[in-house]
A and B are shown apart, each in its own frame.
Chain A
Amino acid sequence: DTGVSQNPRHKITKRGQNVTFRCDPISEHNRLYWYRQTLGQGPEFLTYFQNEAQLEKSRLLSDRFSAERPKGSFSTLEIQRTEQGDSAMYLCASSPRGQVNTEAFFGQGTRLTVV
């Protein structure tokens, strides 16, 4: 168990470019979450997968954002036509299957800067 892994750790991109982030959850965790955090704020929920099914999407997730989790393992978050307002830390978390222990474990995040 190596924890939740996110790549890349940092990404600088020009406005209008597309970017893709990857998250590898803790093995055997069937739930995977994406959050976005801006400076001085708590993380805000973006979307949630249970296995390969995307069960919930926040209103924050505009049409430019898409997330996938093929085969219920790793997940990718893609942002198309990036805007300066997309600059933030993107955090991925996973939690185990089961109804009692739903403790969430977070990765180190991907810091996106749009210039």
Chain B
Amino acid sequence: KQEVTQIPAALSVPEGENLVLNCSFTDSAIYNLQWFRQDPGKGLTSLLLIQSSQREQTSGRLNASLDKSSGRSTLYIAASQPGDSATYLCAVEETSGSRLTFGEGTQLTVNP
């Protein structure tokens, strides 16, 4: 059974810092890995999707990397802003179009 773990569970940083969120998964035979953002009481917003054949994806200040063989992904946020405060979730898809298995998320607070 696939298990996804996110470290740290919570993170508080001052504005402007670069930061890294970690995600690990137990079964490396994945199809895709997706990072999401969730604001309190809201749904999930897709940030980045990395296909299993890719090593990284970038969108603006966000960069996600994937090391499938070691079962790890990182989300790098550059020059953090208070508006980045949210919970960040990673999820793996084991076969094309199948269910997503989520981690428990990292709750990020960026202080002005």
Contacts and interface: CB of A to CB of B under 8 A. Distances in A.
Interface of A: 4, 6, 31, 33, 35, 40-45, 48, 50, 56, 58, 91, 93, 95, 99-109, 111
Contacts of B42: 108-109
A103 B34 contact: yes
Contacts of A35: 100
7 contacts: A43-B44, A56-B98, A100-B96, A102-B31, A102-B97, A106-B43, A108-B42
B59 to A, nearest CB: 12
A6 B45 CA distance: 14
Interface size class of B (residues with CB under 8 A): 20 to 34
Nearest to A48: B99
Contacts of B43: 4, 6, 91, 106-109
B104 A42 contact: yes
Nearest to B90: A42
For the residues of B in contact with A, the DSSP-based class is strand
Contact of B89 (A42, A101, A105): A42
B103 A106 contact: no
A105 B45 CA distance: 7
Contacts of B89: 42-43
A108 B46 CA distance: 12
Interface string B69-112: 00000000000000000000101010011111111110000000
B96 A104 contact: no
A54 to B, nearest CB: 13
A40 B104 contact: yes
A50 to B, nearest CB: 7
